[in-house]
């Protein structure tokens, strides 16, 4: 599986990024994958490679490149509960500084980069995101309805911008929520807002999960949650990007 470390020009500098894609000299649909707050690290590269193995060009940018290249903070091999508070204390200022305006300026650059890649097909792309990256994915899809055919967000704070964000969505949407993040009542409210905006979506709580369940290098990891994530994500991408 070919991989590359890239530099993507943006209006505010150069974003370092990781890309994985099939080794067949063919053009494949593009997928923009936003990492969680911990950023690009081995588990994200592994997920990108796995997705690329299903026939996609997967781009994982460092969302916080304005503060330096990834990794921005030193991460242990396993991010346990003891280490988590100190790491988040370093990361939260970077997350808070990454405004909606920054997200959208960067999204223009990332999607433009994908469109220009010789390995990427000419059709629509998908956007996925984890944790805070799920919100970035939703913002990107809403801002680029002509380019983004599918968006998937996992354990992300997708409702924090309010229902106005949903009105811009034309992509098919899957939201996989952690049981620890969302009550059934809150899920119902979110799904009614998606319905009211006319969004073609599936949105569900993954049983027995807590925030961060897709990430195998954290205490939050759920093997069943990650499996369900692939079972939802891959058919969504097949339908919207390959027509299968």
> What tens digit of pLDDT does each residue of 72-121 get?
999 999 999 999 999 999 999 999 999 999 999 999 999 999 999 999 99
Q: How many domains does the chain have?
A: 1
35 and 133 Cβ atoms separated by less than 8 Å: yes
CATH number at residue 60: 3.40.50.1820
The DSSP H or E segment spanning 61 is strand 57-61
DSSP structural state of residue 120: B
pTM: 0.97
Backbone φ and ψ of 201, nearest 5°? -145, 155
Instruction: Output the furthest CA–CA distance in the chain (Å, rounded).
Output: 48
Which residue, 195, 220, 199, is CA-closest to 209? 220
**What is the overall mean pLDDT for the chain?**
96
pLDDT, position 1: 79
DSSP structural state of residue 240: I
Q: Does residue 244 surpass a pLDDT of 80?
A: no
DSSP structural state of residue 24: S
Q: Does residue 10 surpass a pLDDT of 80?
A: yes
């Amino acid at each position: 599986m070919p991989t590359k470390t890239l530099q993507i020009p943006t209006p505010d500098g150069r974003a370092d990024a990781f890309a994985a894609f099939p080794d067949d000299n063919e053009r494949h649909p593009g997928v923009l994958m936003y990492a969680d707050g911990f950023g690009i690290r081995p588990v994200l590269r592994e997920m990108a490679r796995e997705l690329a193995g299903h026939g996609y060009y997967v781009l994982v940018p460092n969302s916080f490149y304005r503060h330096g290249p990834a990794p921005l903070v030193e991460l242990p091999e396993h991010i346990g509960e003891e280490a988590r508070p100190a790491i988040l204390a370093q990361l939260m200022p970077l997350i808070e500084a990454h405004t909606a305006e920054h997200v959208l300026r960067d999204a223009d650059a990332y999607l433009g980069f994908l469109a220009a890649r010789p390995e990427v097909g000419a059709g629509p792309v998908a956007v996925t995101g984890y944790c805070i990256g799920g919100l970035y994915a939703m913002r990107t899809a809403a801002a680029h309805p002509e380019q983004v055919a599918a968006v998937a967000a996992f354990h992300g704070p997708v409702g924090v911008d309010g229902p106005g964000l949903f009105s811009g969505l034309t992509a098919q949407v899957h939201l996989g929520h952690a049981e620890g993040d969302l009550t059934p009542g809150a899920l119902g409210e979110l799904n009614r807002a998606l319905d009211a905006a006319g969004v073609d979506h599936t949105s569900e709580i993954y049983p027995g999960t807590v925030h961060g369940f897709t990430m195998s290098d954290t205490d939050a990891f759920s093997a069943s949650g990650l499996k369900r994530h692939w079972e939802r994500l891959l058919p969504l991408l097949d339908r919207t990007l390959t027509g299968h």
